[in-house]
């Protein structure tokens, strides 16, 4: 314990004692007579070792553990308490820790006068092996009685009580599932102990062992209930610190919930009864109660299909709402919890609260905002910020208070204030706010800046009139010092502005050009060059950007040079007037030292000169749908049959713009993201770039078809997995039942070259029932035997509650047949009653049951993948005239053209091209053009000219279909007639 000079170095690294030295010193535990004081100090050193992260080997820990158990011989309370602590710390590090069970049991049971009064009482200590409970039936009530009477003046305050509590907590740590029943009796009795410390120790210990001793702990529910309601004493001394002991309620409530959590009705009843009375006195318990109440409401609204239950009188949620509202003027901790609960109920679903309903929460939070304590301000702001994400208008009442906090010394608070204000701010306050932010930007760290830039981006989109202010602000911060993440967020913000507000394109590009002149971040320079290539040609004077881009070719590293070459080529391809210039510049790049740059230059030069290559490569703004392609390649390589080339024609094309997944933008950052953003090291802040990922089969397969379901379950089915290389399409999952029913059933259709596989997912929601041999019976509405035959059904052998499993039904289709059919569908299964926890059936006898679900329809859309073509009219001309099929039809009962368009797109499963799915209002004639890839990779194009007869609510249409194969055109045209 001496701190020599030489130790100071080690000490500053957090090494205070030498491990081997300390372990050696534990020999004093063997001395007779034992020196309790020395032993305790030494155990303090051991704890220091453990807490500073010193690693003990299993052998060292075990030795230490057994050395420590020898100390049980001594009766000193001060020593005993620290032994308990050490046992807990070593419980998971040492072997054979069960050895001390009997010593601990003895302490738990000991009468107070026995515990430390007589030093001669033989301690069980290390010598005792095995379990010898129950030999003494010490009465706990006598212990309590003695305590109630007050221990003698010689006794240390509450020592006995504490030690029983400590022994309880320690013993639960060393038990394993097989030995816990042996201490059941003590725990159960201790739960209802009059002393808070003992009761808490028992409750918390039960809580810890619950996962391994569910059934046991469940049996104590009455005791726990009693602990929740009966008053406690905390200390035997009249004048000592008197805590109220209500904290026991917190532990009892937590345990009660844990026991009952599977049973929604019981939880609801518990919460409701506690909310009605004022029996819950502990703030902590009240906070827990609030959370349980929210959970109840969520469960309820989920089971009622998201209807607003709060407005329904007498419903559970209505009662909960009243309860939460009443808590909004409680003490700070509970008030915050209740307000946060109310805020969490405000969301965009119909089940959310109205503005008036959430008002009490806002008022409560407003009170917290003016508190001097940072934690309070922080908590209130964080909650308001979250509310502002959903509905900014609700927070405006707090604007004045929040403006005060913009200059708060805690930067987390200031940032939350700013970002919330940016959300709630009105157009008129923007200028003032921006000025405030500008003065503030230089003082804060990059992480905060990123958050603020994000908020500004959202604001700029919200108030287009203010874009000039925003843009000049962004441009000015772009010039400031800053790290990559920060600069990136600024560049992203400008990109977004360009996308949403075409007016500011030229100014924005000018700022960006200036930025890349002196940009240290290769990634950003590349992205900006790409944007210049994409947007620059659309401006009035494209030529001026060439200089900026070519400067990069001269001055930058190879990555940037390559990007610059591509950008140059884009100008050359789109703008005829600059093409000669671009050609000259590209020619110079042919001598570049980097081969990628040279390759790009060569390729682009070649493509520029020939109109058809130019159209195919430089002006083509569609790409293959990468996930589909990736899945296809994965299946192809997995199959190992390389005799045939991959069928690229069957891969749909999508516009380039859609390659970038819809990014988090405008008013919809996720709640979690918004809550955790400040201070994050921000790698996970935003995933802007498309994550196309490594080519592992599983993620590829998951994204098999855009919007489609994954094939991961199919891959696990040995019977069906061999089909995968011929997979054409997987549809997205469709529910076949309502959410309220006892079984949830949903369907995914997998279409193969010659097969059709129905994947039917079944979820059993009833814990007390086990389903066995779940299969599906499908009855077609029309005879299909000639075109399609059901070949196999893979049933579910056994289905537990809340464990989704799948039935597969495989059909083989006749070659070339694309049958459309509707199946009347029902599940067949054997139902057995079972234990809700272990899922072991009560008896072997079950009863058969049938369960009808909605019809399964196989439509033409299932054989079609939506795709896009660069230019519809040229693609249309390219397909043979003779393949064209024209139909005219009159469709009644359609009010508007938009409805007609939606129905056609839905029916055919094709992609509307050239924005033709948008029907201008008030128009009575419209042409819809569609693109698709039919089964087998056959390109299909459809042109629908339609005229609305508003009076008759009917649409007359002329459908022209062209396809690579005439029969396919026939089939598609016929599908529309139906």
Partner 1 sequence: MNLTLYTVKALILLDVSNGSRVLAKYYNTGAPSNAATSPAVATGPAPTSTEFATLKDQKTFERRLWEKTRKLLNNEIILFNNHVVVYKGMADVMLFVVGSLEENELMLSSVLNTLYEAINLVLLKYQTEKRTIIENMDLVALAIDECIDNGIVIETDPGTIASRVSKRPSELADISFNDPNSISGAMNKVRDSFFAGILLK
- Closest approach, Cβ 335 to partner 1, in A, equals 9
* Residue 698 is a binding residue for partner 1 (CB under 8 A): no
d(CA 674, CA 381): 12
- Closest approach, Cβ 449 to partner 1, in A, equals 16
The helix-helix angle for 558-574 and 522-535 (nearest 10°) equals 0
Site for partner 1 in 672-691 (CB under 8 A): 672, 675-676, 678-681
* Residue 159 is a binding residue for partner 1 (CB under 8 A): yes
State which of residues 22, 26, 29, 45 lies at the interface with partner 1 (CB under 8 A): 45
Asked if residues 974 and 959 have their Cβ atoms less than 8 Å apart, the reply is no
Site for partner 1 in 332-361 (CB under 8 A): 332-333, 336-337, 340, 344
Nearest to 971 by CA among 819, 869, 753: 819
Q: Outline where 646-795 has alpha helix (H).
A: 671-676, 697-702, 712-715
Site for partner 1 in 761-790 (CB under 8 A): none
* Torsion of Cα atoms, 113 then 114 then 115 then 119, to 10°: 110
- 96 or 503: CB nearest partner 1: 96
- 14 or 655: CB nearest partner 1: 14
d(CA 808, CA 935): 21
Nearest to 753 by CA among 705, 816, 821, 822: 816
Site for partner 1 in 438-457 (CB under 8 A): none
d(CA 70, CA 407): 60
Q: What is the Cα 423 distance to its own chain's centre?
A: 24
* Residue 36 is a binding residue for partner 1 (CB under 8 A): yes
Site for partner 1 in 55-74 (CB under 8 A): 55
* Residue 130 is a binding residue for partner 1 (CB under 8 A): no
| Cβ-Cβ contacts under 8 Å for 371 (sequence gap 6 or more) | 332, 377, 380
- Closest approach, Cβ 81 to partner 1, in A, equals 4
d(CA 17, CA 666): 56
- 200 or 352: CB nearest partner 1: 200
d(CA 337, CA 452): 27
# residues contacting partner 1 (CB under 8 A):
107
State which of residues 18, 25, 47, 830 lies at the interface with partner 1 (CB under 8 A): 47
466-474, Cβ contacts within 8 angstroms, sequence gap of 24 or more = 466/427, 466/430, 466/431, 467/497, 467/501, 467/503, 467/504, 468/504, 468/507, 469/430, 469/431, 469/434, 470/434, 470/497, 471/497, 471/504, 471/507, 471/508, 471/511, 473/434, 473/437, 473/438, 474/511
State which of residues 112, 158, 425, 536 lies at the interface with partner 1 (CB under 8 A): 158
DSSP 601: H
The residue range among 376-384, 390-398, 803-811, 843-851 that interacts with partner 1, by the rule CB under 8 A, is 376-384
Nearest to 811 by CA among 855, 844, 852, 778: 778
* Residue 209 is a binding residue for partner 1 (CB under 8 A): yes
State which of residues 63, 78, 824, 828 lies at the interface with partner 1 (CB under 8 A): 78
- Closest approach, Cβ 765 to partner 1, in A, equals 18
- Closest approach, Cβ 192 to partner 1, in A, equals 17
Show the tokens assigned to 269: 């009843």
Task: Spell out, one character per residue from 256 to 275, where the chain touches partner 1: x when CB under 8 A holds, - when not.
Answer: -xx--x--------------
- Closest approach, Cβ 214 to partner 1, in A, equals 8
- 180 or 395: CB nearest partner 1: 180
State which of residues 35, 551, 559, 790 lies at the interface with partner 1 (CB under 8 A): 35
d(CA 932, CA 941): 6
Helix (H) or strand (E) run with residue 812 in it: strand 805-813
The residue range among 118-126, 291-299, 502-510, 689-697 that interacts with partner 1, by the rule CB under 8 A, is 291-299
- 335 or 453: CB nearest partner 1: 335
Assess whether the previous peptide bond of 79 is cis (omega < 30° from 0).
Answer: no
DSSP 125: G
The residue range among 132-140, 151-159, 734-742, 798-806 that interacts with partner 1, by the rule CB under 8 A, is 151-159
- Closest approach, Cβ 87 to partner 1, in A, equals 11
Show the tokens assigned to 877: 């001309």
d(CA 951, CA 939): 37
State which of residues 59, 145, 240, 817 lies at the interface with partner 1 (CB under 8 A): 240
* Residue 1 is a binding residue for partner 1 (CB under 8 A): yes
Asked if residues 473 and 449 have their Cβ atoms less than 8 Å apart, the reply is no
* Residue 197 is a binding residue for partner 1 (CB under 8 A): yes
Q: How far is CA 85 from CA 109, 323, 499, 626, in A?
A: 18, 41, 62, 58
- Closest approach, Cβ 378 to partner 1, in A, equals 5
- 81 or 367: CB nearest partner 1: 81
* Residue 21 is a binding residue for partner 1 (CB under 8 A): no
- 152 or 722: CB nearest partner 1: 152
CB count, 10 Å around CB of 323? 19
* Torsion of Cα atoms, 514 then 515 then 517 then 523, to 10°: -150
- 37 or 538: CB nearest partner 1: 37
Asked if residues 617 and 605 have their Cβ atoms less than 8 Å apart, the reply is no
* Residue 915 is a binding residue for partner 1 (CB under 8 A): no
* Residue 9 is a binding residue for partner 1 (CB under 8 A): no
- 60 or 871: CB nearest partner 1: 60
* Residue 934 is a binding residue for partner 1 (CB under 8 A): no
| Cβ-Cβ contacts under 8 Å for 764 (sequence gap 6 or more) | 742, 743, 770, 771, 799, 800, 801, 802, 803
Task: Spell out, one character per residue from 80 to 109, where the chain touches partner 1: x when CB under 8 A holds, - when not.
Answer: xxx--x--x--xx----x------------
State which of residues 19, 111, 307, 411 lies at the interface with partner 1 (CB under 8 A): 411
* Residue 76 is a binding residue for partner 1 (CB under 8 A): yes
* Residue 30 is a binding residue for partner 1 (CB under 8 A): no
State which of residues 29, 292, 515, 755 lies at the interface with partner 1 (CB under 8 A): 292
Asked if residues 469 and 430 have their Cβ atoms less than 8 Å apart, the reply is yes
* Residue 111 is a binding residue for partner 1 (CB under 8 A): no
Site for partner 1 in 163-192 (CB under 8 A): 165-166, 169, 173-177
CA torsion through residues 257, 259, 264, 270, sign: negative
* Residue 291 is a binding residue for partner 1 (CB under 8 A): yes
The three-state DSSP-derived secondary structure of 298-318 is: HHHHHHCCCCCCCCCCCCHHH
* Residue 110 is a binding residue for partner 1 (CB under 8 A): no
* Residue 379 is a binding residue for partner 1 (CB under 8 A): yes
- 153 or 978: CB nearest partner 1: 153
* Residue 239 is a binding residue for partner 1 (CB under 8 A): yes
Nearest to 89 by CA among 179, 203, 33, 173: 173
- 76 or 754: CB nearest partner 1: 76
- Closest approach, Cβ 91 to partner 1, in A, equals 6
Do you know the residue count of the chain? Answer: 978
Asked if residues 451 and 443 have their Cβ atoms less than 8 Å apart, the reply is no
* Residue 912 is a binding residue for partner 1 (CB under 8 A): no
The residue range among 155-163, 696-704, 844-852, 951-959 that interacts with partner 1, by the rule CB under 8 A, is 155-163
The upper half-sphere exposure of residue 306, i.e. CA atoms within 13 Å in the direction of its Cβ, equals: 8
- 11 or 427: CB nearest partner 1: 11
The residue behind tokens 């535990």 is 29
* Residue 412 is a binding residue for partner 1 (CB under 8 A): yes
State which of residues 27, 30, 37, 779 lies at the interface with partner 1 (CB under 8 A): 37
Site for partner 1 in 450-489 (CB under 8 A): none
d(CA 774, CA 849): 10
- 36 or 706: CB nearest partner 1: 36
């Amino acid at each position: 314990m001496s701190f020599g000079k030489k130790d100071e170095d080690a000490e500053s690294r957090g090494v205070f004692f030498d491990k081997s030295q300390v372990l050696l010193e534990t020999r004093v535990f063997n001395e007779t007579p034992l020196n309790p004081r020395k032993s305790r100090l030494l155990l303090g050193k051991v704890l220091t070792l453990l807490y500073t992260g010193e690693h003990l080997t299993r052998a060292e820990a075990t030795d230490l553990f057994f050395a420590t158990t020898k100390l049980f011989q001594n009766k000193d309370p001060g020593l005993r308490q620290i032994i308990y602590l050490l046992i807990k710390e070593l419980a998971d590090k040492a072997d054979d820790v069960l050895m001390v069970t009997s010593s601990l049991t003895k302490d738990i049971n000991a009468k107070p006068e026995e515990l430390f009064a007589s030093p001669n009482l033989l301690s069980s200590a290390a010598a005792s092996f095995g379990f010898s409970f129950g030999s003494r039936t010490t009465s706990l009530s006598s212990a309590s009685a003695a305590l109630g009477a007050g221990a003698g003046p010689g006794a240390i305050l509450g020592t006995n009580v504490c030690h029983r509590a400590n022994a309880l907590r320690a013993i639960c740590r060393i038990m394993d599932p097989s030995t816990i029943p042996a201490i059941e009796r003590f725990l159960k009795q201790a739960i209802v102990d009059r002393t808070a410390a003992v009761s808490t120790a028992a409750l918390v210990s039960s809580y810890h062992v619950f996962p391994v001793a569910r059934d046991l702990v469940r049996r104590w529910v009455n005791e726990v209930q009693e602990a929740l309601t009966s008053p406690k004493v905390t200390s035997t001394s009249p004048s000592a610190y008197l805590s109220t002991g209500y904290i026991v309620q917190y532990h009892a409530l937590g345990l009660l919930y844990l026991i009952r959590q599977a049973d929604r009705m019981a939880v609801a009843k518990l919460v409701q009864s506690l909310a009605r009375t004022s029996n819950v006195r502990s703030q902590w318990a009240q906070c827990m109660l609030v959370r349980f109440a929210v959970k109840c409401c969520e469960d309820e609204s989920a089971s009622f299909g998201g209807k607003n239950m709060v407005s329904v009188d007498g419903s559970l949620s209505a009662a909960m709402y009243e309860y939460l509202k009443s808590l909004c003027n409680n003490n700070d901790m509970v008030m915050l919890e209740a307000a946060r609960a109310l805020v969490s109920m405000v969301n965009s679903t119909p089940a959310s609260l109205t503005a008036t309903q959430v008002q009490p929460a806002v008022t409560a939070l407003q009170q917290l905002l003016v508190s001097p304590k940072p934690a309070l301000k922080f908590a209130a702001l964080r909650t308001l910020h979250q509310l502002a994400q959903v509905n900014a208008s609700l927070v405006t009442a707090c604007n004045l208070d929040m403006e005060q906090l913009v200059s708060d010394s805690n930067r987390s608070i200031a940032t939350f204030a700013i970002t919330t204000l940016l959300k709630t701010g009105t157009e008129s306050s923007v200028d003032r706010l921006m000025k405030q932010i500008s003065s503030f930007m230089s003082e804060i760290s990059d992480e905060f800046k990123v958050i603020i830039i994000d908020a500004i981006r959202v604001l700029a989109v919200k108030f287009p009139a203010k874009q000039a202010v925003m843009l000049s602000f962004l441009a000015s911060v772009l010039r400031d010092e800053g790290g990559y993440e920060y600069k990136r967020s600024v560049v992203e913000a400008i990109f977004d502005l360009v996308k949403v507000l075409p007016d500011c394109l030229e100014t924005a590009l000018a700022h960006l050009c200036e930025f890349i002149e002196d940009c240290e971040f290769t990634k950003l320079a590349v992205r900006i060059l790409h944007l210049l290539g994409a947007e620059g040609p659309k401006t009035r004077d494209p030529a001026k950007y060439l200089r900026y881009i070519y400067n990069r070719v001269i001055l930058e590293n190879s990555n940037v040079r390559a990007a610059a070459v591509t950008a140059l080529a884009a100008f050359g391809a789109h703008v005829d007037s600059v093409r000669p210039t671009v050609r000259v510049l590209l020619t110079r790049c042919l001598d570049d030292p980097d081969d990628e740059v040279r390759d790009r230059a060569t390729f682009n030069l070649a493509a520029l000169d020939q109109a058809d290559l130019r159209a195919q490569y430089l002006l083509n703004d569609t790409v293959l749908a990468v996930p589909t392609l990736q899945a296809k390649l994965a299946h192809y390589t997995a199959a190992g049959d390389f005799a045939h080339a991959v069928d690229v024609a069957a891969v749909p094309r999508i516009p380039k713009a859609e390659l970038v997944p819809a990014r988090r933008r405008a008013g919809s950052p996720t709640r979690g993201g918004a809550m955790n953003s400040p201070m994050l090291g921000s790698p996970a802040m935003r995933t802007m770039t498309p994550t196309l990922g490594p080519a592992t089969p599983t993620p590829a397969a998951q994204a098999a078809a855009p919007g489609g379901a994954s094939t991961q379950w199919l891959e696990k089915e040995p019977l069906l997995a061999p089909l995968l290389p011929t997979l054409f399409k997987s549809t997205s999952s469709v529910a076949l039942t309502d959410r309220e029913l006892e079984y949830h059933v949903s369907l995914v259709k997998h279409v193969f070259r010659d097969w059709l596989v129905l994947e039917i997912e079944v979820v059993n929601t009833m814990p007390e029932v086990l389903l066995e041999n779940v299969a599906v019976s499908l009855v077609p509405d029309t005879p299909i035997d000639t075109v399609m035959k059901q070949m196999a059904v893979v049933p579910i052998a056994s289905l537990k509650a809340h464990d989704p499993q799948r039935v597969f039904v495989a059909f083989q289709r006749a070659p070339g047949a694309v049958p459309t059919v509707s199946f009347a569908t029902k599940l067949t299964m054997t139902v057995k009653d079972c234990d809700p926890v272990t899922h072991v059936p009560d008896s072997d006898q079950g009863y058969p049951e049938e369960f009808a679900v909605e019809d399964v329809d196989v439509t033409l859309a299932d054989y079609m993948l939506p795709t896009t073509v660069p230019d519809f009219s040229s693609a249309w001309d390219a397909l043979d005239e003779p393949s064209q099929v024209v139909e005219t039809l009159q469709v009644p009962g359609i009010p508007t053209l938009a409805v007609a368009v939606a129905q056609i797109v839905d029916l055919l499963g094709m992609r509307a091209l050239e924005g033709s799915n948008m029907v201008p209002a008030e128009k009575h004639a419209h042409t819809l053009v569609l693109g698709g890839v039919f089964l087998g990779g056959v390109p299909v194009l459809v042109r629908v000219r339609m005229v609305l007869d508003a009076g008759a609510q009917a649409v007359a249409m002329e459908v022209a279909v062209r396809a690579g194969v005439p029969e396919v055109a026939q089939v598609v045209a016929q599908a529309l007639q139906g």
